[in-house]
């Protein structure tokens, strides 16, 4: 158990809809990272928050947004969903504002999103 909690585990929705994925980081971790993994694709970094502030941005679509709340949990909002958004979405956390050799990322078990 990594200590990172993601809900829901599975989500099925229709095209055009909007969903919210939730992540609770490990106790004491201030950074939250979001990744997307499509079928047979590698992990794609989307966005990172550190202590409530956006820290780094990856290949995140404009239809997607995220935030980190004062209690450090984070939400990833996906809107105007398309079939191609079907994927596993992982959240990870780390102590500092940057991952480091002595503070590796700890991943949750993901949310499987299916867009029909």
With tokens 């941005």, the residue in question is 57
Taking the least distance from each CB to other proteins, the nearer of 1 and 15 is: 1
Q: What is the DSSP letter of 84?
A: G
C-beta of 46: minimal distance to other proteins in Å? 9
C-beta of 30: minimal distance to other proteins in Å? 13
Continuous H helices in 19-96: none
Taking the least distance from each CB to other proteins, the nearer of 19 and 91 is: 91
Taking the least distance from each CB to other proteins, the nearer of 27 and 101 is: 101
Tally the C-alpha atoms within 13 A of residue 32's C-alpha that lie toward its C-beta: 32
C-beta of 99: minimal distance to other proteins in Å? 6
- Measured from the Cβ of residue 18, the count of other Cβ atoms closer than 10 Å reads 11
């Amino acid at each position: 158990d990594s200590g990172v909690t993601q809900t829901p585990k599975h989500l099925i929705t229709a095209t055009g809809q909007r969903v919210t994925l939730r992540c609770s980081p490990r106790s004491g971790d201030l950074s939250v990272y979001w990744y997307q993994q499509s079928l047979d694709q590698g992990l794609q970094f989307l966005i990172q928050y550190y202590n409530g502030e956006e820290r780094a941005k990856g290949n995140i679509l404009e239809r997607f947004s995220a935030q980190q709340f004062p209690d450090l949990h984070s939400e990833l909002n996906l809107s105007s969903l398309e079939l191609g958004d079907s994927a596993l979405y992982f959240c990870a956390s780390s102590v500092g504002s940057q991952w480091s050799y002595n503070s590796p990322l700890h991943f949750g078990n993901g949310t499987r999103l299916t867009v029909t």
